[in-house]
Amino acid sequence: MQRHLLGVLMRGLVPAVAGLLLCSACATTRNHQSNAGPTITVEASLKRTEHLIAAYDEVQSILEDPGFAENLKKLDGYPLATSADTDCRTTTASEVLTALRSRLPTHRLESRYSLFHPFSTAATTVCASTSVNTRRIDFWEQTNPRQRGTLINTLAHEMTHLLPGGETACSSASNGAYTDAGHDACAADAAQCNDAFLVSYVWGDLVECAYREKQGVIPKGEFHSCFLGLVNSSDVSRTTLTPAFKQPSDACKNIKKWSAETP
């Protein structure tokens, strides 16, 4: 039985490894300048490079949209946590937008193949480099804007991790302006949590809702309702969630629940 199981595993592993090697071999590297934002370097297969560039340009278009900035101002009464650990500070959605418009550094976007797709993270960012799971990139092949919005959410989330803390260059994955340190995932069955109050997760949802509105997935003027019902690309009511931070700083003790009413 053990020998049989080993044979099955090897038969699945060998093609996967071969595919990984082939994928690496056919990767292209391209510099890209969007209409706004810094120059980026994209490294992936030709098709996935096109997907990443298209999604990145959509995110940058949203960041430059005056209507998006107006929607954020309505949420500035809710302080956002820059992390979920003892280094937590608070900021506002409008301040995050200003930082991304003015301080987003030149960076790298690349694809990352995982042998364990369902169990691997959608993307990771270390300093000026973001690696996106190929499975997440391939959502862009869908014509359904809801599916594409998931990649939009991921790129917007990771952009917040690219901003260095203070004026110094990034030297590790955890010293950026906005991190996920100490985060607990929010879900319908996990109401006491914190990622629905963190800059990175909130930002991904905000940009995804703006994309949904732009693509006609939701009616014009329903941005706020979309945001209140979306957590990390999943349908979860934010108003049911309670911020729960472990050993929070004094600043992050002021994080409050989301309300159906704008403050």
Q: What is the DSSP letter of 112?
A: E
Give the pLDDT confidence of 10-20 residue by residue, as tens digits: 455 445 444 54
Do 71 and 210 touch, CB atoms closer than 8 A? yes
Tell me how far the alpha carbon of residue 171 is from its chain's centroid. 21
Instruction: Output the pLDDT for position 3.
Output: 52
> 194 pLDDT exceeds 80?
yes
pLDDT digits (tens, 9 = 90+) for 92-125: 999 999 999 999 999 999 998 866 555 567 888 8
Give mean pLDDT, residues 174-185: 83
Residue 9: what pLDDT? 43
Residue 140 pLDDT? 95
pLDDT tens for each residue of 59-94: 999 999 999 999 999 999 999 999 988 889 999 999
% residues pLDDT > 70 (the chain): 83
Neighbours of 48 (CB within 10 A): 23
Q: What are the boundaries of each domain within the chain?
A: 29-254
Distance CA 191, CA 96 (A): 25
In terms of pLDDT, which residue wins out, 141 or 9?
A: 141
pLDDT reported for residue 87: 87
- Please provide residue 128's backbone torsions phi and psi, each rounded to the nearest 5 degrees: -100, 35
The SS3 call for residue 56 is helix
Average pLDDT, the chain: 86
Contact 179, 201 (CB under 8 A): no
Read off the pLDDT of each residue in 210-227 and give the average, rounded to a whole number.
Answer: 95
Which CATH number is correct for 29-254, 1.10.3470, 1.10.760, 3.30.70, 1.10.390?
1.10.390
Give residue 145's pLDDT.
Answer: 93
Position of tokens 């869908």? 142
Average pLDDT over residues 221-240: 93
Average pLDDT over residues 146-170: 87
Mean pLDDT (whole number) for 136-152: 93
